[in-house]
Amino acid sequence: MDKLKLLSTSLLASLFVATSHADEDVLEGSSVVTYDKEYFEKFAPVTLLDMLQRIPGVQEILNKNREQRARANRGGGGAETQGGRGFGSGGDQILINGKRLAGKNNNIDDTMSRVSADNVEKIELIRGAAAGLDVQSQGLVINITLSEGASSSTTFWRFTERFYTSKNSFPPEFLISHSGSSGNLQYLFSGEVKNNRGFFDREEDHFNAADEHTGDKFINNKIKMGSVVLNTNLTYSFDDGSDFRINGLFDDGFQNRIEEQEEIGTQPLHTLWDTQTDTTKWEIGGDYTKNIDGIGQLKALFVINDEKQTTDVLRDREIMTVDEFEYAQENTNLDKSEKIFRASLTTSLTDKQSLEAGGEVAINTFDKGFFDNRRDAAGDPLALRSSDEVEIKETRYEIFANHTYNFSPSLVLQSSLTTEFSKIVADSITTGTQRNTSFTYVKPRLNLRYDFTGSDQLRLTAEKKVSQLDFNNFVTKFDQRTDQLEFGNTGIRPEQIWEFSAAFEHRFANDGGSVEAEVFYRDYTDHITKVDFTEYENLLGQSISADEFFALPAADLDLLRDVVSFTSKSGNVDGATAKGVKLKGNVRLGFVGVPEAVVTLGYTYEKRRETDQFILEEVNFSQVSDHTFSFGFRHDVTAWDFSYGFEGRQRSTFDRFERNYTWPWKLGFGFSGFVEKTVFNGIKVRGEIWKDDMGNGNSTLSIYSDHRRFNDLYERSEKYHHRPAYLRLIIQGTF
């Protein structure tokens, strides 16, 4: 990985010497770059997403949004996985008409793929702090202005077909979206049928504590996913200049996963896991903006959503034999909802200062039950082995004030102060206990933007963040990958982070691209990780600490290991930190005669460290890599209405750890590529190839007896993961 670090640094540095291609349809200021509608005509875009992909630097934000959603879907309790609380206001953002989309499940990425390019007036790239936006950003804000005025309508359609290498599966998908305007009303309605597949294979070599080969295991996964999604976005502009928008979402879907495990060796076992998940969710969000003479601008927005999910897992053993029988059933029921209401008033204090003040209230409910039933023989009744049922309600109130001071066109300081009052009530139905906890957090933020020139910008940020809890960590679940229970903990507190960053950006003239370097430091309080919850005792039955327990004589430990119930759960610790550097750049290749081609490079070094709560050594955060190198290339051959490109990512090894195992992963190389051609009547045909880095590569799972602090290895397995690449054909157009 040191070679990747050296290569990426050298390549990014070389971008500073590049020259660029001028484009008269790009207007540049010290902190705002504007792409007018005419700029995109040569690309013949069909959707808003097509337009954004032509702007240097924007693809990185699109990729980051996709990755954040994927990480959140995989679960986890940290602030980096779950994001900030409420609507949030920092980081790279995408706005439409200067406003965020009032939604959580109804996300901006999906909306961009449904908006017709004909409805877009211009796209602005806003660098650093700027007044009058719905967000405060230390990075890049993309503001999309949609057309207004005369009545019009456009219908967009998209057909998608996937082809999996070495797999006979060709699931089609279809999207139709109708948008337009009539007088003061702008509208968008869409319906989509999603139909996806997933495949995953793994081979394992198993060894005992003496490093003797004991067997092999072959695992085959087939996943079928589908859903019907309905969306609507309505905007009404009143004659007095006020605007009201409302968004709606309904999503009804399922996922079925079949996993076959064949194990040969000293303990042969053949099992089948059949997992069926059904999910129904809906969401309504809206916002209202009104200018009040002599006072300022009133902004109000809300989101109300609900999700219901049931998961049933059936497990059979001795498959492929006459003795096959169902030995386990797991059932999980989830019902969660969220209600967020936010209102603020923005007023100009002077010609250089503005103040936004307001409040936000959020009410979250999360009810989840887990039931695990097992039997040892076909003739035995299924008996409850483990269960956990928790009902949670979180109520949070915020008051905030955001101040913007434009000292000069080149120097802007934004400061904000948010005070949060929250309460979590978690009722454990299984144990009959209740957790009732209140929190108060004061969250200041400072963001400075200084433009040395129209091309060179410095951004400094200091901010206190508080995470949104992942309530899944409150409830016990079964980890199929390690074949053991993960116990819930209703006492988890939100994670707090003090973050400091400094970024320098240089933009090349005439839309030639940019390079950026950022250094950062984060200090964590109540960091969420795996914690030892074992109740340690000595031979007299007296409670003692973990250090006292492991300091006991070996003879005592031998007796106590069969008595003490070693337990771990997600919990909070202090003393975690993160520091690092991010380098990224994109440049048009006009200096070599290919002005319609863009190269993108990125490198991140992030040293995130915490204390392993089981062996008391400093380790990296679980499932986080120190090094990430990414690159991309896109070439739009406008003379032929043809485009092609590719992206790639390589991450260094990361680790997973628990009380009784360590699991380092060496990820495979992830990449994607595409070719795209406009054929006739604006119909666009696009072919893609995708290969994820997650689910590919090698890993080593080392399982220890009882507790890793004994250093008593029980079994080691070498795992070879493979997820096949897939091809995707997309045909889209408008009428």
Q: Could you report the average pLDDT of every consecutive run of 10 residues in the chain (735 residues)?
A: 46 41 50 84 83 81 67 48 55 71 66 78 79 65 75 82 75 88 86 90 94 94 94 88 91 95 87 95 93 90 95 89 88 95 93 93 96 91 93 95 91 93 94 92 94 90 92 90 88 95 90 91 96 94 94 93 92 94 92 89 95 94 93 91 93 93 92 91 89 87 94 94 91 86
3-class state of residue 199 by DSSP: strand
Q: What is the CATH number of the domain that holds 488?
A: 2.40.170.20
Closest by CA position to 415, among listed 477, 349, 475, 469: 349
Residue 70 burial (C-beta neighbours within 10 Å; 0-12, 13-18, 19+):
exposed
The two tokens of residue 17 are 């010497």
User: For the whole model, what pTM was predicted?
Assistant: 0.87
- Residue 11, Cα to own-chain centre: how many angstroms? 28
Q: Are 77 and 66 in contact (CB under 8 A)?
A: no
Range of the domain at 288: 2-506+515-533+576-617+631-734
What pLDDT does residue 513 have? 87
3-class state of residue 625 by DSSP: coil
Q: Is residue 635 part of a domain?
A: yes
Q: Is residue 544 part of a domain?
A: no
What pLDDT does residue 12 have? 43
How far apart CA 333 and CA 525 sit, in angstroms, is: 32
Q: Is residue 305 part of a domain?
A: yes
Spell out the residues 6+ positions from residue 129 whose beta carbon is closer than 8 angstroms to its own: 136, 137, 138, 404, 412, 413, 414, 447, 448, 449, 459
Bridge partners of 364? 338, 394
Q: Is residue 39 part of a domain?
A: yes
User: CA 662, 668, 671 angle in degrees (round to 5)?
Assistant: 145
Residue 210 burial (C-beta neighbours within 10 Å; 0-12, 13-18, 19+):
exposed
Q: Is residue 624 part of a domain?
A: no
- As for how many domains the chain has, the answer is 1
Closest by CA position to 406, among listed 691, 19, 30, 20: 30
Neighbours of 553 (CB within 10 A): 9
Dihedral, CA atoms, 252, 255, 256, 257, nearest 10 degrees?
Answer: -170
Q: Is residue 567 part of a domain?
A: no
Q: Is residue 471 part of a domain?
A: yes
Q: Is residue 558 part of a domain?
A: no
Long-range contacts of 63-72 (CB under 8 A, 24+ apart): 63/647, 64/92, 65/94, 65/107, 65/108, 65/109, 66/109, 69/107, 69/109, 70/694
Bridge partners of 483? none
